[in-house]
């Protein structure tokens, strides 16, 4: 940088002597003008290079910047973070109608989802029973469960017997709110009725369902009819 500055000063002095100095100019004006133009071109070409650094690679070339010593450690941490376990299925994934292991849907806060499911089902209290119904015009038992879960982008099988094949079958002392509860009410061994658990105490399970006689209501396992026909309970949300 210092050498460039000195050269520029010398060229400037030569330019001044060639152009501003009256006597040489007067003796040979054409030669003086040509000399002045050459010197002017040299002056323009001797501008110092910019000291502005516009990239990290340029700074590294000039020895101004270097990677931190712990760069490898940081890269390793990022690499480990990207190798997290794959997420479990969440609400929004379709539950198909095969008896596979991917039926159980895990969400970050299942208790919140359970409250929303119970609230959604409870909005239909008093709605009449309708075979094959899945709307507020009428529900059958599996239709109520189907439409309730569907509101949260969870697609259950359409029949109670197929719903009983998904999720995890529970011990009676492990049943809690939001679980599906199944019954055999036709005197046969095949499940034909389903509801959703809304409350659990030491000796009673309350559930919302659509009954053929009263439509959407809340019933209890203390009622002899449901107590003796209880089949199983399944957990869909873990």
Q: Would you name the residues annotated as active-site residues?
A: 141, 193, 209
**68-85 burial: b if 16+ Cβ within 10 Å, else e:** eeeeeeeeeeeeeeeeee
The answer to whether 29 and 1 are in contact (CB under 8 A) is no
Contact 217, 125 (CB under 8 A): yes
Starting from the edge strand earliest in sequence, which strands make up the sheet with 205-211, in order?
A: 168-169, 230-235, 180-183, 193-200, 205-211, 215-220
Q: How far apart are CA 184 and CA 230, in angstroms?
A: 7
Question: In terms of C-beta distances under 8 Å and separation of at least 24 residues, what long-range contacts does 110-116 make, across chains too?
Answer: 110/178, 110/237, 110/238, 113/152, 113/178, 113/237, 114/177, 114/178, 114/237, 116/152
Distance CA 129, CA 215 (A): 4
Residue 142 to residue 211: CA distance in whole angstroms: 10
- Both tokens of 40, joined, read 């002017």
């Amino acid at each position: 940088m210092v050498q460039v500055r000195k050269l520029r000063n010398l060229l400037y002095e030569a330019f001044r002597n060639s152009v501003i100095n009256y006597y040489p100019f007067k003796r040979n004006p054409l030669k003086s003008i040509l000399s002045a133009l050459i010197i002017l071109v040299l002056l323009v070409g001797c501008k110092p290079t910019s000291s502005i650094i516009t990239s990290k690679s340029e700074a590294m070339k000039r020895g101004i910047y270097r990677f931190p010593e712990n760069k490898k450690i940081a890269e390793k941490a990022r690499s480990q973070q990207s190798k997290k376990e794959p997420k479990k299925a969440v609400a929004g994934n379709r539950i198909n109608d095969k008896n596979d292991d991917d039926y159980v849907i895990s969400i970050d806060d299942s208790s919140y989802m359970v409250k929303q499911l119970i609230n959604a089902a409870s909005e239909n209290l008093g709605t009449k029973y309708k075979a094959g119904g899945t709307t507020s015009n009428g529900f059958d038992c599996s239709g109520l469960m189907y439409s309730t879960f569907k509101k949260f982008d969870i697609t259950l099988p359409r029949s109670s017997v197929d719903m009983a094949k998904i999720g995890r079958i529970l011990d009676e002392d492990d049943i809690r709110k939001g679980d599906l509860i199944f019954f055999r009410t036709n005197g046969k061994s095949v499940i034909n009725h389903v509801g959703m658990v809304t409350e659990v105490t030491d000796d009673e399970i309350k559930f919302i369902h659509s009954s053929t006689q009263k439509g959407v209501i809340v019933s209890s396992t203390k009622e002899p009819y449901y107590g003796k026909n209880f089949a199983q309970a399944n957990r869909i949300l873990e």
